[in-house]
Structure 1
Amino acid sequence: MKAITYTSIFLLMSFLPQASIAQKDVTHQQLIWYGYFLTLPIDENWSVGAEVQERHFIHPFAQQQLSLRTHVHRKLGQSGWEVSAGFATFFQSPNNPRSELDLVEPELRAHIEMAYKQKFEKLTIDHRYRAEARYFHKLNLEKTGLANGYYFGGFRFRYRILASYPIWKINENQVLKVIAGDELMVQAGKKISYTFDQNRIIAGLGLSISPFLNVEATYQKWINQRQNGAYFNRDIVRIVVNHRLSTIKTQK
């Protein structure tokens, strides 16, 4: 009951930023994200993950971001909890797809995470709590090129709730699921102007092709507050391939 109560409170909070931007300076954009997520189990409790994500604007066509991430996971017995730590590199292009400035800004990001999985008969709910430390590449005085070194931009705290429910069992290994969820992000630090960072509402389908491979096609409504107080309101199509290899023990 407590988990359901906390979830209800979170969902209410996550919708408030979207309602509040009606009278604000808002930029609407459409994007497509592609992702490949690889998991290599080491044993029953340990695993290593790697991610590649490409994000680009639809009209006009222009790259928005490329991200590379690696992380190590540890299951905490049979409790349903899991902890992980990882590191990512982001290559950020201008957020205006019509920008004439051809500048890609690198960002380094370390994170720690806890995740909890709940099962209610066919329904599965995943909770993910993540804390990130963000380091941005320095720019020259004109902000048209890169300077030497990085600076600490601040911390970001994320909570994501994601539910999945099977709607069609094709065979023993192939199942079609409906996916829905939300992720709320807040930030802190001396260089941070606003506590609220962004909110992402997620809905779509996931298809298990085999025990080791599944594909997700989802829609995201992404509300992002900028440092000047304005907002990005983004409609995103997200296509992800999740690939899980056999354990190292099995391979031997």
Structure 2
Amino acid sequence: MRNPELARFFRDLAAYLEMDDVPFKPRAYEKAALAIESCDRPLAELHLEGGAKALCTIPGIGKSMAEKLAEILTTGKCQAHEVYRLRMPVDLAALTAVEGVGPKAVKVLYDHLGIRTIEDLAAAARAGKIRPLPHFGERSEQRILKALTVVQAGTARQPLAVVLPLVEAVVETLASVRGVERVAIAGSIRRRRETIGDADLLAVARKAEPVMRAFAGIPEVARVLGRGSTKCSVKLATGLQVDLRVVPAESFGAALLYFTGSKAHNV
């Protein structure tokens, strides 16, 4: 299992905990998810080498989280995640990708309207069923409808010929940032797939913060989706998601191979 899939488990757990008003833990799981995604080595390798103890070397991962990661890597499942999922059988990743729809909103939407998917959400918003719900209203419903158009545009795959010039312009900007030694395109663009869902970039620099700050401030960026110590994800005005990871020079080759994939190659 690849690092982004492991991070998805932790993001879901963060959302479930937030729904239950559990203090502190949601933020801890969110930070752990970012650390997992930013790790320049597959966690599956770390686990094979040293078990749960080796996973504790990742920043923000304590014993309990390491045990959950080991459980996922061993069985493909996490018991805590399964318990929550059975209680709240919704497409968390898709619903919380809609701007203005957080975990607590997902819970209200499911409890009152049985909304599980993006399609359910769109249908309810168009029918005017969301505005009467607690903590929503007509303006919230209109914002959700507007946000859904952005999400739907962003999930559509775009031709390589359209995406490549945009991403190359971002690479050129990052390469000019002081302290950046190298910037490379990874992922499906590097594999020259005909259509692209998102873009992956790798940068070599001693200090990650100035690079990510410059990346988030590029004029083409419409929204910052997430930011950790060595990873930043943004959405461009065109709807394309671009993920930047800053790695040390000694890790660049392995990271380029890992984040270029394909998924089947990295299993």
TM-score, length-normalised on structure 2? 0.22
Task: Specify which structure has the higher proportion of helix.
Answer: 2
Which structure ranks higher in relative contact order (CA pairs < 8 Å, sequence separation ≥ 6)?
A: 1
Task: Specify which structure has the higher proportion of strand.
Answer: 1
TM-score, length-normalised on structure 1? 0.23
